[in-house]
Structure 1
Amino acid sequence: MTDDRGRVVLAGVTTALVGFASSSAVVLAGLQAVGATPVQAASGLVALCLTQALGMLWLARRTRLPIVLAWSTPGAALLAAGAVPEGGWPAAVGAFAVAGALIVLTGLWPRLARLVAAIPAPIAQAMLAGVLVPLCLAPVRGVVDDPLSVLPIVVVWLVLLRVAPRGASPAAFAVGLAVLGVHAVLGGGAEGPVLPVLDLTAPTLSASAVVGIALPLYVVTMASQNVPGVAVLSSFGYRAPWRESMAVTGIGTIAGAPFGGHAINLAAITAALAASPDAHPDAGQRWRAVRVAAVVYLGLAAIATALTTLTGAAPAVLAAVAGLALVPTLGASLTGAVASAERGDREAAVVTFLVAASGVSAFGIGAAFWALAAGIVVHAALAIRR
């Protein structure tokens, strides 16, 4: 019994630490790209830790299922590849709240869920891949511009990718923290708050932010997180309560938006850590690992602001860590984009990828939306031809 309890605790702690360390750098980069100050970005990271922790505690108590929540890493990557919207940070916050409302509506209105499912998967994956390309190039540029800071991170990531792939991103994150610490010491210390901060921003609605941020954020969160999250749980014999899961994550997103949280959702990769037999031999007891993970996330919220302040010592290090963390996601997205046997699907996906990677912006709306629109138009045109 004691051994099983230890496995539950270890699985929960690992789930939280891997989720936080593997992509918190991506979140900070994304929030600052759409207009957040370092303090507002720190607030967003704190809000995400709190909302997903509370959501997990609620779902674990209600369902007794190992439902792990996470922030939307693809959504953060989409933000990082974008620009400050018209209306600035308050408009971005408003777009986060709109994305949360759409997630809630998806759980309540099956027709919206079918509409999202009607977007060809290769197009959604190609849009995400195009958005990720500039971010994944950051380590390459970092090795050239600042090899002493970035090269150790890349080497550790590569070694761990060979011997322990799951630990590659957290290890790179740990080395990045060490490098940032050195920079802070040499620079006379990091400047900024250390204690947890929640900075409230009154959201505003901007048409360009809703179209350019909220809709792509909603699509990638649903297609790259929520749907795979349901599939991961199903692979271990669990049936996720769709309506309640969407309600909890959507309401959590809305609640966290004024404090800078962009989106929370069902976890995909880290979900397997809590749902597998490694967490507990009894499938009916694995939900306890989720409860442990939630408590750990509450603790991580306490250090999120200090982490954000530390990253200000060398932004290139943060960009390199974020880029390395996104390499597996880029690989999976590229595979999903071009794996279709239908020739028209592949062509539409390639067009989507090119538009997204171009970074073009028109009428205040970023490349992600235009990529999605271009891909759907090409797909429809080729479908008519066929």
Structure 2
Amino acid sequence: MPSHASTSPIRLNDLTHPIVAGLISVIVNYGGTFILVFQAAKVAGLSPELTASWVWSVSIGVGLTGLYLSWRYREPIITAWSTPAAAFLVTALATTSYAEAIGAYIVSALAFVILGLSGYFEKVIRLIPLGIASGLLAGILLQFGIGAFGGATIDPLLVGLLIVAYVLLKRLSARYAVVGILVLGLVFLLMQDRVNLSGLTLALATPVFVMPEFSWNALLSVALPLFLITLTGQYMPGMLVLRNDGFKTSANPVVTVTGLGSLIMAPFGSHAFNVAAITAAIATGPEAHEDPSKRWIAGIAAGVFYVLIGVFGVTLAAVFMAFPATFITTLAGLALMGTIGGSLAGAVADPTHREAALITFLASAANISLLGIGGAFWGLVIGMVAYIALNGRLPRRETANVSVGEGAAK
């Protein structure tokens, strides 16, 4: 049973905040990183039809897997496309045919299915102490927290309005702070005519099947890097986000289901999807709901929004991408304030882990990039090495930290 399972009825008042949290996570995902998909499609020379099929497949796949996992385990298991993998494809698709790339997507997805069924990934996750996981998450999210204020240099009126509104709403009605800044920000942008919806026409996306081709070149230059980048850059921090907020669903079904989803959607253009990390933290933390047992609704809401966007393909995705970058970064940073604070508190809570957790936090915040692997992985590696060096042993498997995680989440 999930650690936050609850038999208490869900009231209408319990729906507002998780649904808004799910919506914000979707807005941040499309507004913040989806441009990489369009850049990769342009590099590959894809037609508008193939590009729309890519958007359809990744949005529908992410939505349905997130819906199923959140419903099945009653936890906010937000799924997303692999952002670091999309960044990798911006260069990889320049030298690989699209049919071979589709074949590589299939091989990578099969590898994740096998990994999930094997159960080894969950064993690795359980070896990571809660303090190290909290330090890693705080380091990853630090740039988003800084970004909430950094945009004031570029757009002082918008950013200032959102920050002041957030602080006032926190004082007057903390539950509605994030909901309030979302609505206020959208109204402000529409009044300033900074979100142009006049040319919006809803057109259904049509999936296009691409016959995959397999080659050793694509296997080594696309499938292998795609698997490693997604595993270290998305699955690892994504599962630790769930653990940090006290959710204990095994990684095995999450990896298996998202791997199967990627496998099914690959011939239509989807490169990879997985458990989310940054955007998941918006839905797993206290801003989504003060009661952790109600936060799974955010996973359902996010899944529904992804499916709706996928049905209309490029059209609705382009709307979110039209929002000013400062609005996206400020909204994300303020929505993550509670999670950042909880992660920092969790990182320093245990004196025996404090030094290693601090090293993990700083190394993750530095966002080191080596050998094509991103900062989350290297921050975790450095933190674990520090833990072993400081404690003289490998960490024991985490089995009794549920209450600690729940306390941080609340």
Scaled to the shorter chain, the TM-score interval is 0.5 to 0.7
One of 117, 124, 127 as aligned partner of 1:118: 127
Partner of 1:358: 366
- 1:162 pairs with 2:171: yes
Q: TM-score, normalised by structure 1?
A: 0.68
- Cα distance between partner residues in 2 of 1:333 and 1:95: 36
Contact 1:13 1:292 in 2 (8 A): no
Percent identity of the aligned residues? 25
Contact 1:176 1:318 in 2 (8 A): no
- Cα distance between partner residues in 2 of 1:55 and 1:187: 31
Which is further off, 311-320 or 11-20? 11-20
- 1:88 pairs with 2:91: yes
Partner of 1:234: none
- Cα distance between partner residues in 2 of 1:182 and 1:206: 46
- 1:223 pairs with 2:231: no
Which is further off, 373-382 or 265-274? 265-274
Q: Secondary structure at the match of 1:205?
A: helix
Partner of 1:24: 26
Provide Cα deviations, 1:255-312, integer angstroms capped at 9, x if missing partner.
5674366424797456987955xx9xxxxxx99x998986676446557843643542
- Cα distance between partner residues in 2 of 1:179 and 1:45: 29
- Cα distance between partner residues in 2 of 1:356 and 1:96: 28
Aligned counterparts, 1:245-324, within 5 A: 247-252=256-261, 255=264, 258-259=269-270, 262-264=273-275, 268-269=284-285, 275=293, 298-299=307-308, 301=310, 305-306=315-316, 308-324=318-334
Partner of 2:400: none
- Cα distance between partner residues in 1 of 2:136 and 2:143: 13
Partner of 1:142: 151
Contact 1:18 1:170 in 2 (8 A): yes
- Aligned partner letter, 2:88: P
Partner of 1:374: 382
Q: Secondary structure at the match of 2:331?
A: helix
Contact 1:56 1:67 in 2 (8 A): no
- Aligned partner letter, 2:91: G
Task: Please report the RMSD computed on the Cα atoms of aligned residues, expressed in angstroms.
Answer: 4.9
Cα gap change, 1:348/1:243 in structure 2, threshold over 3 Å: closer, same or farther? closer
Cα gap change, 1:146/1:112 in structure 2, threshold over 3 Å: closer, same or farther? closer
Residue 358 (structure 1) shift: 1.7
Provide Cα deviations, 1:27-81, integer angstroms capped at 9, x if missing partner.
1355347x333897998886566345534665699x6x745542369x87xx5xx
Contact 2:79 2:274 in 1 (8 A): yes
- 1:332 pairs with 2:335: no
Q: Secondary structure at the match of 2:141?
A: helix
Partner of 1:282: none
- Cα distance between partner residues in 1 of 2:28 and 2:195: 24
Residue 8 (structure 1) shift: 5.8
Which is further off, 124-133 or 245-254? 245-254
Q: Secondary structure at the match of 1:263?
A: strand
Q: TM-score, normalised by structure 2?
A: 0.65
Stretches of structure 1 that go unaligned for 5 or more consecutive residues are 1-6, 232-239, 280-285
Aligned counterparts, 1:160-239, within 5 A: 160-182=169-191, 185=193, 195=203, 205=222, 210-225=227-242, 228=245, 230-231=247-248
Aligned length: 352
Q: As a proportion of its length, which structure holds more helix?
A: 1
Residue 323 (structure 1) shift: 1.7
- Aligned partner letter, 1:25: I
- Cα distance between partner residues in 1 of 2:234 and 2:250: 22
